[in-house]
Structure 1
Amino acid sequence: MLQTRILPSAENAHAAPLLIKSLLLSGVRYESSREIVYRDQLRYSYTTFVERIARLANVLTQMGVKAGDTVAVMDWDSHRYLECMFAVPMLGAVLHTINVRLSPQQILYTMNHAEDRFVLVNSEFAELYAGLADELTTVERTLLLADAGQEAVELVDSVGEYEALLASAAPHYAFAEFDENSVATTFYTTGTTGNPKGVYFTHRQLVLHTLAMASVVGSVDSVRLCGTDDVYMPITPMFHVHAWGMPYVATMLGLKQVYPGRYDPEVLVELWERESVTFSHCVPTIVQMILGAKAAQGKDFKGWKLIIGGSALPRALYDAALAQGIQLTAAYGMSETCPLISAAMLNEQLQAASEDEQITYRIKAGIPVPMVEAALMDADGQFLVHDGKQQGELVLRAPWLTQNYLREPEKGEELWAHGWMHTGDVATICTMGFIEIRDRIKDVIKTGGEWVSSLELEDLISRHPAVREAAVVGVPDPQWGERPFVMVTLHPGQQFDARAIKEHLKPFVEQGLLSKWAVPTQVAVVTEIPKTSVGKLDKKRIRVEIEQLQADSSVFLSTL
């Protein structure tokens, strides 16, 4: 190890730990009168917000919560969730953000595996929770979360209702300092096989991620997504990587924050208009839902800036959103990365390029943000050149990457093979540093010895005017090993088949942008494409559905 020079600190010097409580104190200092808004139900100032967090800390302490305990939350995106994102870790406890869209058995597994001791449950999930209660092995007490006007429900082992308990709690709490490497949050990420895996982050990691994200969204001129005068509304579930970490950024900067509860496209449009929302983030599916909402028809969303992540940003969706005034910017990350890794920042060279070329780069995964190292690695652990052509697995290093999987060290070792975090994504990196995700390793289609990117095909096919959304997977083929199979949803009144795909993709083949071997010969038109719990294309379920469609002789599949 390198021998460096370390000088002694003064005897009374304070070595300030990087703790989540420091993020909370900044916002109220800057904009104490700014509002936290929950649907049409509640709004209050940052001064009240800080007071409510202290009240919640007192309620949790009276429940028996101690440092090191795991406190779980089952709720939609709300002011309550935001308060828990601060109060729970500020007590030294661990916040478990439960993915309420998992199956009941998966939720049960995650709660027992995380060893949840206390659970805050939205009344909408009271029945779900009651069905799990007898099999929960560590839970001691629950706390009911209810919106105004909701019917009273009975919750197993409940200490009472959230707002009533906060109203009677003391408005001050002396939050202690502790080791910044203490675990602050945990949640579970699902894969194609096996049980969900527990990801966790420390106070130090979350603070550093917050600072990096704030610098990217607020300081890079080519992005300039979010400043102190913006109004923030998350459209990514708070149970999914802390809503991508933006609530911490928004609170640190003192932004007005708008929480929409359960996602309803009509409500989202209404909140955008009423609260003058200017900045959000979501997966492509949510953008499609918003653009398709009745309230969005003919609406000019000028001034609304959205970060798009979770899956590739199709060019057709970028164009459709821009036509209604929404500026989309692609970014990349994953559950294990907290999540921000890269963003589509245009350098000086690209800012002088044509608009079409700029868009080409705006929909890529982008350039690694400050403090992130990205590289390409082959199956033998050797690094590959960054020439925009060589493909390899994207591997990462950054101060906020999860260091392991909860109680699954063998999987953690796989994640961190060769000392780099393995993403499972096949990518290229060009000489300007732009990452382009080509596919998931498990989703790359191998046909006749050629590698075909399902993501590239999905993007090109979605540009057809009849296509609303496209998903591509490889299916077994006796001659070629695999062939691309397309599943599409269409705009109302449109038709589409395998011949339409061939004609649509022909110019891209002629331009050398697509191999002729990549042109799909089978297509299924469906009313809905399977999605994961966070709105991504669910390739595992798509493959199963395609097998069922192929086996059902009554279903027409268009085949060349």
Structure 2
Amino acid sequence: MSENYNYQLTVDKVLEYGERVYPDREIVYRDKRRYTFESFGRKVRNLAGGLQRLGVKPGDKVGVIDWDTDVYLMSYYAIPMMGAMLHTVNVRYPPELIVKTILHAEDKWLIVRDEFLPLIEKAGNYLNNVKIIAYSDENKVKYPDVMELINNDDNQFQQQEISENTPATIFYTSGTTGEPKGVWFTHRDLILHAMSCSIAAAKPPISATPEDVYLILVPLFHVHQWGYPYLFMLGGNKYVLPGRYDPTIELNLMKNEGVTFSAMVPTILYMILSHPDAPKYSEVFKNWRVLIGGAALPKGLADTARKFGITVMAGYGLSETAPVLTISYYNSKVEKLPDEKKFEQQIKTGVPIPLVELRVVDPEFKDVPHDGNTIGEIVVRAPWLTREYYKDPEKTKRLWSGGWLHTGDLAVVDEYGYIRIVDRDKDAIKSGGEFIPSLLLEDVISSHPKIGQVAVVGMPDEKWGERPVAFIVLKDKMTEEELKNYLMQKAEEGKIRKWWIPDKFVFLSDLPKTSTNKIDKKSLRDIIKAK
């Protein structure tokens, strides 16, 4: 009988590699706490052992409600290593949706930062079966304390070997329906994704090396922070955690910690570059490379960054794809081009990273020509894509129609093989890198007794990428101010977020319809363009 060992791709292997090869590399959380990779690994196992002692079992779902902190980063390892499932709860959802996703995921435990405890306690009647663990950077908490678990070296983690096919993470995304949809991933998915991203990151213009210092300004609750919680450990990179985002703090961290690489949505870069102190950091910016995702990288913003001496490039992916599919690194054709031509390519959507099969197809599912003009839908295959929408077979069937994952994103392919997204087959509005679900917003607006019909579409915005515009048919007279006050009330009730409230309301006698009598949102967007 063979005694070959069946090696499993699990996240603990990533942690062990970082500890062994880069034991003195640092992880920094603001000015509050810092660790070497070696001490970080010990704290992770303390946390895992402490959670075991409290009763967390393999298969349990453990939600985390926090900003980008050391505690959250430890959870990315400790919870999956136990055979449990990490639920990265989106704190930017309205309270009602936060509770809904916790219930839908069937979380048994919640790790909660103190400032979010009132939200969870208010929903206590709905969350009676969820056990709370909490922590604070300054104060004592009345629940089992996460920091005590982390700092207790007597917490002996009883690690058992688990299958690489064990579910490791789950989170929720709002798409075309406006309702949260759960996507989940296994250990194997996460490791293969991280390894492929590592290969792509070594290529120019990113050209990552172990000497790079990372400050990732993508929330840890958002699509695995684009894979960086595992990437930095594989790459041996010093990792800087900013907590709750604040451009002033981020600039100081960049200077004080020697940051050389970041990833973020365009709005965050805009906020940093438009900060009144930005010119003082010109020397820091000259060594800074920035990967932009979550929304298209506007050329104007890219030009502004380039004037600061910053190297910018684009990437692309979805919640359903873990997320990375493409990065605008140089392929063999583009690396031979003049610098200006290279710049044009690196701010496009990019080329697939290793192991991604990506096609842009026409309605007959044939690949579009690489002419930079013919539009098709992006469909993909890769070894780390979500298998399903959690507990939603109907939407899963549509997602995987024909054996390819349908992104709903419309794009062209140029002569060099680079993808450029030109539109989205989605009505969810991307504002500041986060979706504003149009159907959910429409539902709340339509609940006003004076509203007859409503349709919400996105309007281009220099700062936020897009902002919502509401087209409304009234049943009775009302003012824009009256409607805004109504929506503010709904925001206070937790039905929507305040920043979802449209910047503009357009009152019409009727809404344009398609041939199937649906509201024609394309025509509404044309109205915006014409104004």
Q: What TM-score bracket applies, with the shorter chain setting the length?
A: 0.7 to 0.9
Whole-Å separation in 1 of the counterparts to 2:291 and 2:165:
29
Asked if the contact 1:115–1:138 (Cα under 8 Å) also holds between the matched residues in 2, the reply is no
Residue 265 (structure 2) aligned to one of 263, 283, 300:
283
Change in CA separation of 1:280 and 1:549 when aligned onto 2, cut-off 3 Å: farther
Match of 1:439 among 417, 423, 430: 423
Residue pair 1:391, 1:428 contacting (<8 A) in 2 also: yes
> Does 2:399 align with 1:399?
no
- CA deviation digits over 1:487-537, x for unaligned, max 9? 54589xxxxxxxxxxxxxxxxxxxxxxxxxxxxxxxxxxxxxxxxxxxxxx
Is 1:313–1:363's contact at 8 Å kept on the other side of the alignment? yes
Q: Deviations over 1:467-487 (max 9, x none)?
A: xxxx9x9xxxxxxxx9x9955
Residues 1:164 and 2:148 aligned together:
yes
Aligned match for 2:67, one of 50, 71, 76: 76
Aligned to 1:377: 361
Q: Is residue 237 of structure 2 the alignment partner of residue 267 of structure 1? A: no
- 1:252 corresponds to: 234
Q: Equivalent residues in 2 for 1:315-394 (5 A)?
A: 315-394=299-378
Q: CA deviation at 1:174?
A: 3.8
Residue deviations 1:322-353 (CA, integer Å, cap 9, x gap): 21122111011111111111111223432332
Of 21, 41, 59, the match for 1:30: 21
| Structure 1 pair 34–99 and aligned structure 2 pair: CA distance change class (3 A) | same
The amino acid of 1:288's aligned partner reads: Y
Residue in structure 2 matched with residue 215 of structure 1 by the alignment: 199
Shift of 1:398: 0.5
Q: Return the offset for 1:176.
A: 1.4
Residues 248 and 549 of structure 1, relative CA distance in 2, 3 Å threshold: farther
The separation in 2 between residues aligned to 1:318 and 1:211, in whole angstroms, is 28
Sort the Cα spacing of 1:129 and 1:387 in 2 relative to 1 into closer, same or farther, 3 A: same
Q: Please say if residues 225 and 305 of structure 1, whose CA atoms lie closer than 8 Å, have aligned partners that are also in contact.
A: no
2:408 to 394, 404, 424: 424
Q: 2:505 aligns with which of 530, 543, 547?
A: 547
Query: Using CA pairs below 8 Å that are at least 6 residues apart, which structure has the higher relative contact order?
Result: 2
Provide the rounded CA distance (Å) in 2 between the counterparts of 1:57 and 1:348: 45
Aligned partners of 1:123 and 1:145 also within 8 Å: yes
- The one-letter code matched in structure 2 to 1:203 is H
Distance in 1, matches of 2:146 and 2:508, equals: 51
**1:20 & 1:144 partners in 2: Cα distance?**
24
Is the contact made by 1:26 and 1:253 (CA closer than 8 Å) also made in structure 2? no
Write out per-residue CA displacement over residues 304-337 of structure 1, whole angstroms, 9 at most, x where no aligned residue.
1111000000111111112112211101111111
Aligned to 1:91: 82
- Aligned equivalents of 1:421, 1:314: Cα separation in 2: 27
Residue aligning to 1:230:
212
Q: Helix, strand or coil: the match of 2:125?
A: helix
Q: CA deviation at 1:546?
A: 3.3
2:102 corresponds to? 111
- Single out whichever of 276-285 and 189-198 deviates more from structure 2: 189-198
Work out whether 1:295 is the aligned partner of 2:277.
yes
1:199 matches 2:183: yes
Q: Counterpart of 2:115? A: 124
Q: Which moved more, 1:426-435 or 1:346-355?
A: 346-355
Distance in structure 2 (CA, Å) of the matches to 1:111 and 1:117? 9
C-alpha distance 271-485 of structure 1, shift in aligned 2 (>3 A): closer
Q: State how far apart, in whole Å, the 2-side matches of 1:374 and 1:53 are.
A: 36
Deviation at 1:241, TM superposition (A): 0.9
Preserved CA contact (<8 Å) 2:242 2:250: yes
TM-score by length of 2: 0.81
Stretches of structure 1 lacking an aligned partner (at least 5 in a row): 1-9, 445-453, 459-470, 474-481, 492-537, 552-556
Q: 1:254: how far off?
A: 2.4
The correspondence for 1:175, drawn from 133, 156, 159, is 159
1:389 is displaced (CA, Å) by: 2.5
Q: Against the structure 1 CA distance between its residues 411 and 321, is the aligned structure 2 distance closer, same or farther, given a 3 Å change threshold?
A: same
**What is the TM-score normalised by the length of structure 1?**
0.77
User: What value does the CA root-mean-square deviation take over the aligned residues?
Assistant: 2.8
1:189 aligns with 2:173: yes
Counterparts in 2 of 1:417-496, with a 5 A limit?
Answer: 417-442=401-426, 488=461
